């Protein structure tokens, strides 16, 4: 409907009339709540599920899940659409009504717009008793998106490489961490790999927010304070990255890095470590298996900072599942959503943190459990504002660009130095914060 309006609007302009007004603006229809069905055997409907895991669609894993699902809900048919450029493509499809029944909510959709696109799944007060991360998908007390799974953050590292360099305990300060990397370099291994070229692995450095100072309000504070003031989480994280590159402890040519390659390289001990979400551990272990190595060589360590003698790691959700507000089979869609979260074992297979409260920690994080790492969930009270400032300032906390620039400065490929760059970022951020109400 929106689409038709836009097109009609465009035609008016084409006709030469200087008529400019808002585009289609009536939002989406009033969808009923997507409530869970009561009678599985008689639930009918065909649903389409959009996913970014094209690999699982092509290798048939998704069909296996669907077959399992069909045992409980025999009259529901599930179809999958694997989309490679998930963010870009789904964003455009969301201008129409046809964006599947169950989908992963693209990051581009502003949280405030969730009620226009997705069916409400229930009251937050109630759902938060069962699910973690409901803060991320709730608008005024109602939940529109439930996290598919969560991940802790830290450094994926090759245990053998670290041991051979003589480092056995996790560093507790950034200085110690850099020191360890120097030892690794002396042992003839590339200590750190930035994944500069692919870019998105760099953006995970923004997850240091909260992990450094162990403050659940760290993200909300970005809305009111200078994110790169002295001693803030982002300053500590970005300074560490800067030092790593500046001291040539990262790969020689960041502009030609290759993500797929990097998995094999860390598995075979040609790379020491990379900062990534805990979801990456299982992928690196797979790479180790493929290279004929023991998967247990891949370890995971928290950010080198302690508060109260303990490490800290933010656990944050991956993409959220939502149900299309225009879906004709909302009960069937909800049935699939609940089944995936509770029964499919999808999160366990990926060694991810389950969204279900009280589920055991994944194997990838066994090291964290042993060391007694504190897990925190970031408050999302001001998340909408933080995202708005981020976009208005064109810095892109969740994008690669500003850290690529940081790395360029560190390796001498761009003018400037770290303090000047951080001041500049602060300036942009504060200016944008003023324009955002």
Partner 1 sequence: MTQTATTSRAAPAPPKGAKPKAHRWTPWVYLAAPLALLVAFTYIPVASMLSYSLTDWDGVSPDSTFVGLDNYAQLFTRPELFGVFSVSLYYLAASVLQIGLALYFATVLSFNVRFRNLFKGILFFPYLINGVAIAFVFLYFFQRGGTLDTVLRFAGVDSQFLWLGDPDLVNVSLAGVSVWRFMGLNFVLFLGAIQSIQPQLYEAAELDGANRWHVFRHLIVPGITPIISLSVILAIAGSLSVFEIPFVITGGAGESKTFVIQTIKLAFQFNKTGLASAAAVVLLAVVLLVTWIQRRLVPDERNDLV
CA nearest neighbour of 364 among 285, 290, 434:
285
Number of residues that bind partner 1 (CB under 8 A): 47
State the nearest-atom distance from the C-beta of 14 to partner 1, in Å: 4
91 is an interface residue for partner 1 by CB under 8 A: yes
Between 220 and 251, whose beta carbon lies closer to partner 1?
251
| Whole-number Å distance between alpha carbons of 427 and 234 | 15
Tokens for 227, please give them: 């994110």
Q: Residue 14 interacts with partner 1 (CB under 8 A)? A: yes
For residue 24, state whether it binds partner 1 (rule: CB under 8 A): yes
**C-alpha span between 114 and 118 (Å, rounded):** 6
User: How many whole angstroms separate alpha carbon 253 and alpha carbon 191?
Assistant: 14
Binding of residue 25 to partner 1 (CB under 8 A): yes
Under the binding rule (CB under 8 A), the answer on residue 50 touching partner 1 is no
Least CB distance to partner 1 at residue 1 (A): 9
Of these, 44, 95, 96, 173, which contacts partner 1 (CB under 8 A)? 95
Shortest separation between residue 263's beta carbon and partner 1, angstroms: 18
3-state DSSP assignment of residue 232: coil
Task: Find out whether 247 and 184 touch, Cβ atoms under 8 Å.
Answer: no
φ, ψ of residue 319 to 5 degrees: the values are: -60, 155
Structure tokens given for 89: 């493509």
Among 411, 421, 422, 433, binds partner 1 (CB under 8 A): 411
- Residue 394 sits in the site that holds partner 1 (CB under 8 A): yes
Please, which residue, 24 or 367, has the CB nearer to partner 1? 24
- Contact between 236 and partner 1 per CB under 8 A: no
Other C-beta atoms lying within 10 Å of the C-beta of residue 435: 10
Residue 310: helix, strand or coil by DSSP?
A: strand
Residue in 43, 56, 94, 165 binding partner 1, rule: CB under 8 A? 94
Q: Which of residues 107-126 bind partner 1 (CB under 8 A)?
A: 108-110, 113, 116
Give the nearest distance from C-beta 413 to partner 1 in angstroms: 5
The string of DSSP letters for 36-82 reads PPS-GGG--EEEEEEES-HHHHHTTHHHHHHHHHHHHSTTEEEEEEE
The verdict on 318 binding partner 1 (CB under 8 A) reads: no
Single residue of 4, 23, 229, 230 touching partner 1 by CB under 8 A? 23
Of 117 and 155, nearer to partner 1 (C-beta) is 117
Are residues 400 and 203 in contact, defined by beta-carbon separation less than 8 angstroms?
Answer: yes
Q: Are 245 and 172 in contact (CB under 8 A)?
A: no
DSSP 358-421: TPPPPGGGHHHHHHTPEEE----TTHHHHHHHHHHHT--TTSSHHHHHHHHHHTTSSS--HHHH
CB of 392 to partner 1, least distance (A): 8
359 is a site residue for partner 1 (CB under 8 A):
no
* Residue closer to partner 1, measured from CB, 250 or 280: 250
- Kindly list the residues in this chain that would bind partner 1 in the complex (CB under 8 A): 2, 6-7, 9-11, 13-14, 20-28, 87-88, 91, 94-95, 106, 108-110, 113, 116, 196-197, 199, 252-256, 391, 394, 396, 399-401, 404, 408, 411, 413-414
């Amino acid at each position: 409907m929106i689409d038709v309006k836009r097109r009609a609007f465009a035609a008016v302009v084409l006709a030469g009339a200087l008529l400019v007004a808002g585009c289609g603006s009536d939002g989406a229809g009033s969808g009923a709540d997507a409530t869970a069905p009561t009678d599985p055997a008689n639930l009918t409907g065909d649903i389409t599920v959009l996913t970014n895991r094209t690999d699982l669609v092509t290798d048939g894993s998704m069909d296996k899940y669907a077959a399992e699902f069909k045992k409980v809900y025999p009259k529901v048919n599930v179809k999958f659409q694997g989309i490679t450029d998930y963010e870009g493509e789904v964003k455009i499809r969301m201008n129409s009504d046809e964006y599947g029944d169950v989908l992963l909510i693209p990051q581009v959709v502003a949280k405030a717009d969730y009620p226009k696109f997705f069916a409400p799944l229930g009251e937050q007060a109630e759902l938060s008793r069962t699910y973690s991360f409901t803060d991320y998908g709730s608008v005024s007390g109602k939940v529109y998106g439930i996290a598919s799974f969560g991940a802790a953050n830290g450094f994926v590292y090759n245990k053998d490489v670290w041991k051979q360099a003589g480092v056995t305990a996790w560093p507790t300060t950034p200085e110690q961490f850099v020191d360890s990397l120097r030892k690794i370099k002396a042992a003839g291994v590339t200590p750190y790999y930035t994944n500069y070229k692919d870019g998105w692995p760099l953006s995970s450095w923004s997850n240091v927010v909260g992990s450094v100072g162990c403050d659940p309000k760290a993200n909300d504070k970005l809305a009111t304070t200078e994110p790169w003031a002295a001693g803030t989480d982002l300053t500590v994280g970005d300074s560490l990255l800067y030092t790593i590159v500046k001291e040539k402890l990262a790969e020689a040519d960041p502009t030609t890095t290759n993500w797929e390659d990097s998995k094999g390289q860390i598995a075979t001990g040609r790379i020491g470590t990379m900062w990534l979400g805990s979801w990456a551990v299982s992928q690196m272990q797979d790479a180790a298996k493929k290279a004929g190595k023991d998967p247990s060589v891949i370890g995971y360590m928290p950010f080198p900072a302690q508060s109260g003698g303990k490490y800290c790691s933010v656990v944050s959700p991956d993409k959220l599942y939502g149900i299309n507000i225009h879906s004709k089979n909302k009960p069937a869609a909800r049935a699939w959503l609940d089944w995936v979260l509770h029964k499919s074992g999808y999160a366990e297979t990926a060694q991810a943190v389950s969204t279900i409260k009280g589920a055991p920690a994944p194997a990838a994080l066994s090291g964290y459990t042993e060391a007694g790492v504190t897990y925190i969930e970031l408050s999302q009270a001001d998340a909408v504002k933080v995202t708005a400032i981020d976009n208005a300032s064109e810095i892109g906390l969740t994008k690669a660009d500003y850290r690529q620039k940081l790395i360029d400065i560190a390796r001498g490929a761009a003018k400037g130095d770290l303090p000047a760059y951080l001041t500049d970022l602060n300036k942009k951020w504060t200016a944008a914060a003023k324009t955002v109400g």
